[in-house]
Amino acid sequence: MEVRLQKVIAASGLASRRKAEQLITEGRVTVNGQIVRELGSRVDPDRDHVKVDGRHLKAVEPYAYIMLNKPKGIVSSLRDPEGRPTIKDLLHGVRLRMFPVGRLDFDTEGLMLLTNHGQLAQALLHPRYHVAKVYLVKAKGILSDEEIDQLERGITLDDGVTAPASVKKVRKAEENSWLELTIYEGRKHQVKRMFEAVGHPVLKLKRTRFGPLSLGDLPAGEFRFLTDREANALRVILRSKQDGSHAGKADAGPTSASRVRRTARRAS
């Protein structure tokens, strides 16, 4: 697959993206023996021979994908200026340079995806592709049907109205509510802010699905590499971004089942 030349240089670890662009414009980069100065040039790392200052680039790391079950009390970045434990501390034995696709709050647990595939990460986080994120939510008090309808229709927050969501009751409780919430955005503290807006603060929050990935029975604090099937399902999203299609559009909003539930509640 062809990618921009500066990305290939940056991926090799030789230089940052900006420095790679400088190397190109200075005429210090050759592709198959020819000097290339155009920043828009594309190459196939598997076929083309790229040199910088006459030296071959180091082999690019293979793309890798990791699912992590983040526990509470862990920062979802690779380093923390406050010295708190981070997800990097959980990746024992992983030598590849991996980075998280999105984040979870310090006190939120559940599924996180890590990868060294930058284009894929951008596609998964881009708002245009509406990648579904599913959370198990324990909220204070019992939500009424009207409050659930508000969450599904969209909540007005200080940064705008949230996109339509899907809410499903998963457990019965006398004092608190257990719900499954599906959203298609990635605003900061979004789930907590949505529930606070309807008067039911979040007591516990766990992400159980991210796009086509499901947390399953992966223990808290543990990780695993994705299966080929799971990785291919993610690549479908990337291909839809690259060719401008809308593959996977089934995740673009609340399901018809969600709309049926709302209708049934109003009729009851």
Are 140 and 203 a contacting pair, CB within 8 Å? yes
Q: Check 44, 53, 89, 105 and give the catalytic one.
A: 105
Neighbours of 121 (CB within 10 A): 19
CA 246 to chain centre: 18
Burial call 76-105: b when 16+ CB within 10 Å, e when fewer: beeebeeeeebbbebbeeeeeebebbeebb
DSSP designation for 28 = -
Distance, in Å, from the CA atom of 151 to the CA atom of 162, rounded to the nearest integer, reads: 9
Q: For the stretch 149-173, what's the b/e string if a residue is b when 16 or more beta carbons lie within 10 angstroms of its beta carbon?
A: bbbbeebeeeeeebbbbbbeeeeee
Q: What is the largest CA-CA distance in the chain?
A: 75
Q: Is 251 a catalytic residue?
A: no
Please identify every residue annotated as catalytic.
105
